[in-house]
Amino acid sequence: MHTNVVHISELNKSFGVKQVLFDLSLQVGEGEMVALIGSSGSGKSTLLRHLPGLISGDGARRTGEENSVGQDLSRASLAGMARAPSLSSSHSPPHLAPLSFLSRPFSSPAASPAIPSYASTASRVEVLGRSIQCGGRLSRNVRQHRSGIGYIFQQFNLVGRMSVIGNVLLGSLGRIPRWRGVCGFFSAAERRQAFEALERVGMAKYAWRRASTLSGGQQQRVAIARALTQRAKIILADEPVASLDPESARKVMDLLAEINAQDKTTVLVSLHQVEYARRYCPRTIALKEGRIHYDGPTHVLSDMRLAGIYGAEISTIDRQRNDDADNAIDEISLKCHSGITYEFLRAASSF
């Protein structure tokens, strides 16, 4: 059994009036390499950005909303409490609903204890055993907690005017006094580690080049070297190969897989290309319109299920498939939808 490195429960996220993540709960165990797939706009980046606390989830759930199995959780959780009117109520226009919510007194004495406990479990995110956020509030020590979390962006996010080695050294900022980072004072050992990380990703010969002069694939490998220098225990990679040619993409995915296998670093990687999930990630989480549509072994993802995830985008999906595996395990994967946990699937697949 893996120790959980990521623990998300009941994560909801809205931008203004538009809710984009709905009641997401999931765990990722230590040393797993997990693909996060889903069509454009399904919420992959939004979900990933919650893990280091780059954004915060919604606070307590709004009443009247349903979870993924259609159960009105607000009703269950708020039992015994004066019911606030639904924000989506047809009786009041949405722009007035928050005001009516505030003006309504909680008249039932049984209501008071229910409020804090309900709010405190909403949108909870823990990474590496530390609370990142809860109830829409970032943890006070979130910056400290981020030091073990490597983040790789689709658009590389290197400082273009800085040398490659300078960018990699930024990975050690979480471990050194702030003044040293500001002044650029790095010890010989820190510089050596940065060079070793560059060697590992095959970029040592570019150490003194300006980062902006590198190709996309090279920049992404430097970003991985920065995560290595950071000694990240988990790497979150948001579509790291989406802007790369196939050869560069393969090198980047090979590196992530190697770091996962050799260092036991947990990797959660969002991918638009399902073939990379199939080749590199034993487990896949699929998002559809902000909800978890599938969470289980990648090798049982059938074309039919992918069609359900991607809809019209199915034509872009790699269609290499193993019919036997699809059929044999289809029953198990269907059960996954009805709430059986991934741990169960993992145990079942080892029989």
Ligand X SMILES: Nc1ncnc2c1ncn2[C@@H]1O[C@H](COP(=O)(O)OP(=O)(O)O)[C@@H](O)[C@H]1O
Under the rule (CB under 6 A), what is the footprint of ligand X?
15, 20, 38, 40-46
- Assigned token pair, 91: 């009786």
Q: How far is residue 303's CA from residue 133's CA, in Å, rounded to a whole number?
A: 36
How many helices (H) does the chain have, and how many strands (E)?
A: 14, 11
Q: CB nearer to ligand X: give 40 or 187.
A: 40
Q: Is 329 left (phi over 0), alpha (psi -120 to 50) or beta?
A: alpha
- CA 233-138-66 angle, to 5 degrees, is 100
185 makes contact, choosing from Mg ion, ligand X, none, with CB < 5 to 8 Å by partner type, with: none
Min CB(168)–ligand X separation in Å:
27
Min CB(254)–ligand X separation in Å:
23
20 makes contact, choosing from Mg ion, ligand X, none, with CB < 5 to 8 Å by partner type, with: ligand X
94 makes contact, choosing from Mg ion, ligand X, none, with CB < 5 to 8 Å by partner type, with: none
Min CB(307)–ligand X separation in Å:
18
Q: CB nearer to Mg ion: give 43 or 135.
A: 43
> Site map for Mg ion, 169-208, x if CB under 5 A?
----------------------------------------
Q: CB nearer to ligand X: give 16 or 105.
A: 16
43 makes contact, choosing from ligand X, Mg ion, none, with CB < 5 to 8 Å by partner type, with: ligand X
Are the C-beta atoms of residues 20 and 287 closer than 8 Å to each other? Answer: no
Which H, E and C letters describe 88-138, residue by residue?
Answer: CCCCCCCCCHHHHHHHCCCCCCCHHHHHHHHHHHCCEEEECCEEEEECCEE
15 makes contact, choosing from ligand X, Mg ion, none, with CB < 5 to 8 Å by partner type, with: ligand X
Min CB(160)–ligand X separation in Å:
23
CB atoms within 10 A of CB 199: 13
Please give the helix or strand (H or E) that residue 150 lies within, else none.
Answer: strand 149-152
Are the C-beta atoms of residues 163 and 207 closer than 8 Å to each other? Answer: yes
Min CB(82)–Mg ion separation in Å:
40
Q: How far is residue 124's CA from residue 60's CA, in Å, rounded to a whole number?
A: 10
> Site map for Mg ion, 113-152, x if CB under 5 A?
----------------------------------------
Strand partners, 150: 235
41 makes contact, choosing from ligand X, Mg ion, none, with CB < 5 to 8 Å by partner type, with: ligand X
Q: Under rule CB under 5 A, which residues in 15-44 are in contact with Mg ion?
A: 44
Q: CB nearer to Mg ion: give 171 or 290.
A: 290
Min CB(20)–ligand X separation in Å:
4
Min CB(45)–Mg ion separation in Å:
3
74 makes contact, choosing from ligand X, Mg ion, none, with CB < 5 to 8 Å by partner type, with: none
- CA 7-35-157 angle, to 5 degrees, is 90
> Site map for Mg ion, 40-79, x if CB under 5 A?
----xx----------------------------------
CA atoms within 13 A on the CB side of 8: 24
Q: CB nearer to Mg ion: give 134 or 292.
A: 292
Q: Which residues contact 194 (CB under 8 A, 6 or more apart)?
A: 165, 168, 169, 171, 172, 186, 225, 229
Q: How far is residue 319's CA from residue 324's CA, in Å, rounded to a whole number?
A: 15
Q: Is 273 in the site for Mg ion (CB under 5 A)?
A: no
Binding site for Mg ion (CB under 5 A): 44-45
